Amino acid sequence: EAQVTQNPRYLITVTGKKLTVTCSQNMNHEYMSWYRQDPGLGLRQIYYSMNVEVTDKGDVPEGYKVSRKEKRNFPLILESPSPNQTSLYFCASSLISRGDNQPQHFGDGTRLSIL
């Protein structure tokens, strides 16, 4: 089954304690992306990756890091989490093609609470 898997689904942690949210897709997609969703602001892109070892900042990259060592995985790293990073996070993947009209595939979301 084609899917994007995020872990954990829920996490409560404290300020400053490094954490990683994993994301894995099994569709051989080149493009992967992280979004955060906050009330009234919709989904804002944090980082994206066009392929292995190719990553770039989205609209709200501050306080986050990513890596793309393998095509299927795109972890989101919060080196020193702060309360303003409390949010709902989504990982997504898709093909890259000018003819591609396929929707992005989304993970089920990770709800992070930073105390």
Partner 1 sequence: AQKVTQAQTEISVVEKEDVTLDCVYETRDTTYYLFWYKQPPSGELVFLIRRNSFDEQNEISGRYSWNFQKSTSSFNFTITASQVVDSAVYFCALKEVSRGSTLGRLYFGRGTQLTVWP
Catalog residues that contact partner 1 under the rule CB under 8 A.
30-31, 33, 35, 40-45, 48, 50, 88, 90, 92, 94-104, 106, 108-109, 111
Return the number of the residue (33 or 85) whose C-beta is nearest partner 1. 33
CB of 109 to partner 1, least distance (A): 5
Question: How many whole angstroms separate alpha carbon 97 and alpha carbon 19?
Answer: 33
Return the number of the residue (43 or 52) whose C-beta is nearest partner 1. 43
Write down the residue that tokens 């954490």 correspond to.
19
Q: Which two tokens stand for residue 104?
A: 């992005």
Return the number of the residue (40 or 62) whose C-beta is nearest partner 1. 40
Question: How many whole angstroms separate alpha carbon 24 and alpha carbon 113?
Answer: 22
Write down the residue that tokens 């995985």 correspond to.
73
